[in-house]
Amino acid sequence: MKTQALKGMRDLLPAEQTLRDYIQGKILETYRASGFERISTPMLEDMENLDKSDGGDNLNLIFKVLKRGDKLTSALGSGDPKQLSDMGLRYDLTLPLSRFYAANKDKLPHPFKVIQTDRVFRAERPQKGRLREFVQCDIDILGDESPNAEVELIDVTTRALLNIGFTGFTVNINDRRILRGMLESMGFAADTLDSVCITFDKMDKIGAEGVKAELTEKQLPENAIHEGFATFRGTDRRFQYKGTYHGAKVIDDYAHHPTEIRATMEAAENCAHRTLWCVFQPHTYTRTKALLDDFAAALSLADHVVLADIYAARETDTLGISSKDIQERIVKLGTACEYFPSFAEIENYLNENLAEGDMLITMGAGDVVKIGEELLASEK
């Protein structure tokens, strides 16, 4: 008898199982106290459901179960490999939940707050941190499309981590609309964004060159791929909280295209603030001239805009354009807007005008982040 567990799978000793039970117990205790109910679904799902699901690359990692008896004989005779299997092990808990909810919706409360903690299986190449069998915890609120559901999921998850014993952690919040806005601004067509997101999600697995190769293989526009890698910076400088100055929250964001700016402004509106300030540094004369009106419209969503000089990057020809051209258009739209040629002047102006409860966003692809950092440093 072979005594070792299969590669990518683990035996748990009593002490390990006790620890796992404790952690899962604390998680379930927290969610149940907030009205979440636990469900359990079968490990096996119909292959028709698995194949048609939105599982991305996980669809290539399904453990499939061969048909039996005459059905297998018939499938072998068809010559179609897809006919050989009629069931597969679940690769996550999302598909089983969708099927479960569709079958039992009439018997469940509305909205339905649900938690699952169950084993899932993926035909991975076993390596550090990637197993073929692992436990997944999945929480959802079904039937509530309001932001309240998102806020509750974040809040309860934070309390679950605290209940386990974690401290000093950071919760990073992403908004898919910002990412989609970024990708569209790079030149990717709207109907390709889901596929592009799946590829960019692999950055940690296959690296930048692997992502580039896959995007190219998908025959996506070369200029969009180039712009994507010139722009993409991961989570850093994306609605990044920097600190508090004079009681005002200081945020930094890399947005430098009208679509990104608008998405960031809309996200900021969902955060508590008195006055929303935006210090914007336009990026390149070419882009500024081509999108003058779009920049003005997006920036006017702030309560007060402060413009820095255009960040030229490698450009030398000003094309007769300056930040004053954006300022004129913003003022015409009814939003207060100032222009200062130096960071020092901007910092002095903000020092005199920022008030407690305000939110300040420094925004752009250049070095505008220094303004917020220097303001914060001056208070230390």
Higher pLDDT, 190 or 204: 190
240-378 is classed CATH 3.40.640.10: no
Residue 277 is which amino acid?
Answer: W
Residue 192 is which amino acid?
Answer: T
Query: What mean pLDDT comes out for the span 64-79?
Result: 87
14-43+90-164 is classed CATH 3.30.930.10: yes
Q: What is the pLDDT of residue 343?
A: 95
**Res. 238: pLDDT tops 80:** no
Q: What is the pLDDT of residue 200?
A: 79
DSSP 8-state code for residue 282: -
Q: Which two tokens stand for residue 70?
A: 């005459």
Q: What is the pLDDT of residue 335?
A: 96
**Res. 234: pLDDT tops 50:** no
- The percentage of the chain sitting over the pLDDT mark of 70, rounded to a whole number, equals 93
Cα(334)–Cα(353) distance, integer angstroms:
19
Cα(184)–Cα(194) distance, integer angstroms:
11
Higher pLDDT, 175 or 26: 26
**Res. 288: pLDDT tops 80:** yes
Domain ranges of the chain: 14-43+90-164, 176-231, 240-378
Find the Cα–Cα–Cα–Cα dihedral 282, 244, 234, 270, rounded to 10°.
-80
| Least confident piece of the model among 12-16, 22-26, 201-205 | 201-205
Please indicate whether the domains covering 14-43+90-164 and 240-378 agree at the CATH topology level: no
Could you tell me the pLDDT band of residue 199, with boundaries at 50, 70 and 90?
Answer: confident
Q: Which residues pair with 113 in a beta bridge?
A: 141
Instruction: For CA atoms 194, 196, 200, 206, give the dihedral sign.
Output: positive
Are residues 306 and 280 in contact, defined by beta-carbon separation less than 8 angstroms? yes
